[in-house]
Structure 1
Amino acid sequence: MKITNLVTYLVPPRWLFVKVETDEEGISGWGEPIVEGRAATVEAAVQELKSYLIGKNPLRIEDHWNVMYRGGFYRGGPVLMSAIAGIDQALWDIKGKFHHAPVHELMGGACRDRIRVYSWIGGDRPSDVGQAAKKVVEQGFTAIKMNATEELHYIDTHEKVDQVLERVAAIRETVGDYVGIGIDFHGRVHKPMAKILVKELEPFRPMFIEEPVLPENNEALRELAHFTSTPIATGERLFSRWDFKQLLAEGYVDIIQPDLSHAGGITECKKIAAMAEAYDVALAPHCPLGPIALASCLQVDASSHNAFIQEQSLGIHYNKGNDLLDYIADASVFDYEEGFVNIPQGPGLGIDVDEGHVKQMADVGHQWKNPIWRHQDGSVAEW
């Protein structure tokens, strides 16, 4: 079997899909290589890698991963690793279909039948989170995640701190003490304000605090960990096992969140998960993306003992006009029951991509960019 072509599809709301075709009748694979807001750049990187892959045996995934990563003098970073990630997902999809088995069976088999999921509420500028949390809990979710704040300056007002506390208090009052609340600082918070917020939020017993500082400031986690017993999560903007190495060795993170469409795909994230397990750190893959990315996450979750919850994008504020289930033929594969989703059991990634709809929406395309925010003084704020 040989790879014959790689075809990319830029589809709304903000995704990029790749189809890896082979000369074996009926066997092709799908991946999701994307950096949100840089889709065209990643698409170009996929096309650069294509010339190497044409004519190769798609089953030699480990070797292809190493060539794509090590074959260039300059390596790593969001663009290259996202391009590798999507191709890697597609190669695993092919391998599973070739062997008539779900990907997790080829990685040692499942250690769980299902995994807990959480639902996003509140949008970029969080509001009405109490009622939003009530709605998703009524739908059966047992955990939610929200953005903690709007923009915050290095030193900001206690009024904004109080607004965060009021929102989280509204959730607790509405849904009770035991619904999980993930609070995403989204890199919007600098260390001086993060110290205040993590301490003030602790009485609400959050499930975790996510990305309390920007990843380039991860050394601040050492100090922040002394202000709270709330689990600290980070990792969506780290792209390889080498990026995670120092973070894990320093011991101040409790949950890692590699993104399977950014951090080298299934091959790399399985290794990152195993590294984290050795440090007694939990896994919660980042995935505010499409169905191929989610299916890839679930295959890694299935075979990673330290996976405890999975992000998913159904109804997320980014998915305007097109949502998670629109691009697959059988939406029931992602049915959520009692706050869990079953591990897909079909061959490969376990989903059937609706190629006709993908092609139709690729004619629409997208030019999604994240907003540019500014502080009241006119300086650029973190989004």
Structure 2
Amino acid sequence: MRIEKVETFPMLYQLPQPYGDANGYKKYRSCYLFRITTKSGVEGWGECIDWLTTLEKGFQSRIVPYLLGKEATDRTQIVNTIKKWHQRVATGVSMALTEIVAKSAGLSVCDLWGGKLREIIPVYASFQSYSNKEDWIQHSLHLIEQSITAGFTQLKVKIGGRTLQEDQTHILSVQSMLEEKIQLALDANQSYDASTARQWNRLFERWPNMLWLEEPLPMDRVADYKLLRATLTIPIAGGENLQKSAEFLPLLKDGAVDIIQPDIMHATGVDGYRETLQLSRIFGIKSSPHTFDGALSRLYALFAQACLPPWSKMNDDAIEPVEWDVMENPFTSILSLKPLNGCVPIPTGTGIGVEWDMEKMDKYRWDGTSYY
């Protein structure tokens, strides 16, 4: 399984209407895909995120020359070398090599990992709530209504990007529309201090449909998280930007969160990501993956959830939901996979088991010009 060819597919979509969260507005969506092909013709796809200029230069000058001629089965050594140069590229390469090995064995990715424990995985509709519209609350409500009509039963909405009063007015309107029939998570993107976060609890105490409060504080404030967890009446979640399993340990050892949210795009490879998921089981807590940035990374998160043991023997049929980007983004649908009634069936074919929309990839291929 010697690597013979590496093709890159940088893609860009300029948003006609910016949207965002507490970190600011997004004016574009980008995606960097690549295909690794062996001498025998077996293909595997990888995905990563960064500035497209940085990725394209890095691939052509270093990554591609390094990969050519290597054995795809030497995945661990290859990934460990590449992560010294670019951690996110290493994760993408680990995806591609995983698929090649699975295809060569005539297996699905899940079968390669020992077999899936469940056939479908729940997903939640993930929103970027803010826009530069004066009626941004009504715009947000319209988007939420669309997702509910599409069958989603779990949602995540942003807070922390407006004043506390504005955000609470927004969420009160959301809850009025949901009528407590749809489960709701709130994501503050680490924008609060502990005292501000606690001001939400008077509302949380009234709402039985809350999933969690996500990253209300900077994630390095472990002691504050522990105290906040003891104060709030809903679960606390976080960890999307942590890279290694060891970085989750302080949160887990000190009982600072109820749910961890690793993101495979930010992990040190597929194996490191799955190691973090297993760590949540060792500590007996939930893990609901963050996967906002790419269709392939989300698919691997779904595979990993399908193979993950239940978090509690008291609820052994349940599995935590995976994030599903419902904002305007053509790359969300670049794989032939979509949710039905808030769940996604796990593909059964060899490798990743789904087809790529090559026409869409050609349509949005980045032309190399500046985009910011």
Farther off after superposition, 87-96 or 1-10: 1-10
Q: In structure 1, what is the Cα distance between the partners aligned to 2:168 and 2:246?
A: 36
Q: In structure 2, what is the Cα distance between the partners aligned to 1:248 and 1:366?
A: 44
User: Which residue number in structure 1 is paired with residue 320 of structure 2?
Assistant: 308
* Residue 139 (structure 1) aligned to one of 150, 155, 172: 150
Tell me if the contact between 1:183 and 1:208 (Cα under 8 Å) persists in the aligned partners: yes
Tell me if the contact between 2:34 and 2:46 (Cα under 8 Å) persists in the aligned partners: yes
User: Which residue number in structure 1 is paired with residue 194 of structure 2?
Assistant: 191
Q: SS of the counterpart of 1:276?
A: helix
Q: In structure 2, what is the Cα distance between the partners aligned to 1:108 and 1:228?
A: 38
User: Which residue number in structure 2 is paired with residue 377 of structure 1?
Assistant: none
Q: SS of the counterpart of 1:108?
A: coil
Q: How many residues align?
A: 341
- Taking a change above 3 Å as real, the CA distance of residues 267 and 198 of structure 1, as seen in their structure-2 partners, is farther
User: Which residue number in structure 2 is paired with residue 244 of structure 1?
Assistant: 248
Alignment of 1:186-335 (within 5 A): 186-198=189-201, 200-205=203-208, 206-305=210-309, 306=311, 307-313=319-325, 315-317=326-328, 319=329, 322-325=330-333, 327-328=334-335, 331=336, 333-334=337-338
Q: In structure 2, what is the Cα distance between the partners aligned to 1:235 and 1:22?
A: 35
Query: Deviation at 1:209?
Result: 0.8
Q: Which amino acid aligns with 2:30?
A: R
Q: Which amino acid aligns with 1:139?
A: A
- Taking a change above 3 Å as real, the CA distance of residues 19 and 367 of structure 1, as seen in their structure-2 partners, is farther
* Residue 86 (structure 1) aligned to one of 63, 72, 92: 92
Tell me if the contact between 2:80 and 2:90 (Cα under 8 Å) persists in the aligned partners: no
Structure 2, unaligned stretches of length 5 or more?
A: 13-28, 312-318
User: Which residue number in structure 2 is paired with residue 169 of structure 1?
Assistant: 172
Query: Deviation at 1:291?
Result: 1.9
Query: Deviation at 1:356?
Result: 5.1
Q: In structure 1, what is the Cα distance between the partners aligned to 2:369 and 2:303?
A: 28
RMSD: 2.4
Tell me if the contact between 2:53 and 2:368 (Cα under 8 Å) persists in the aligned partners: no
- Taking a change above 3 Å as real, the CA distance of residues 268 and 45 of structure 1, as seen in their structure-2 partners, is farther
Q: Which amino acid aligns with 1:30?
A: W
Tell me if the contact between 2:223 and 2:256 (Cα under 8 Å) persists in the aligned partners: no
User: Which residue number in structure 2 is paired with residue 60 of structure 1?
Assistant: 74
Q: In structure 2, what is the Cα distance between the partners aligned to 1:185 and 1:202?
A: 18
Corresponding position: 1:108 with 2:114: yes
Structure with the higher fraction of residues in strand conformation: 2
Q: In structure 1, what is the Cα distance between the partners aligned to 2:250 and 2:272?
A: 16
- Taking a change above 3 Å as real, the CA distance of residues 81 and 167 of structure 1, as seen in their structure-2 partners, is same
User: Which residue number in structure 2 is paired with residue 346 of structure 1?
Assistant: 349
User: Which residue number in structure 2 is paired with residue 118 of structure 1?
Assistant: 124
Q: Which amino acid aligns with 1:105?
A: D
- Taking a change above 3 Å as real, the CA distance of residues 273 and 367 of structure 1, as seen in their structure-2 partners, is farther
Tell me if the contact between 1:165 and 1:201 (Cα under 8 Å) persists in the aligned partners: no
Tell me if the contact between 2:222 and 2:250 (Cα under 8 Å) persists in the aligned partners: no
Tell me if the contact between 1:298 and 1:344 (Cα under 8 Å) persists in the aligned partners: no
Farther off after superposition, 48-57 or 298-307: 48-57
User: Which residue number in structure 1 is paired with residue 54 of structure 2?
Assistant: 41
Structure 1, unaligned stretches of length 5 or more?
A: 152-159, 370-383
- Taking a change above 3 Å as real, the CA distance of residues 43 and 270 of structure 1, as seen in their structure-2 partners, is farther
CA deviation map 1:309-366 (0-9, x unaligned): 01112x315x2xx2411x33xx3x32x2221111121221222223454244224467
TM-score by length of 2: 0.83
Q: In structure 2, what is the Cα distance between the partners aligned to 1:366 and 1:216?
A: 37
User: Which residue number in structure 2 is paired with residue 21 of structure 1?
Assistant: 37
Q: In structure 2, what is the Cα distance between the partners aligned to 1:111 and 1:60?
A: 27
Q: SS of the counterpart of 1:135?
A: helix
CA deviation map 1:75-124 (0-9, x unaligned): 8xxxx321111111111121222122211111111011111111134533
Tell me if the contact between 1:239 and 1:263 (Cα under 8 Å) persists in the aligned partners: yes
Q: SS of the counterpart of 1:17?
A: strand
Query: Deviation at 1:260?
Result: 1.3
Q: Percent identity?
A: 23
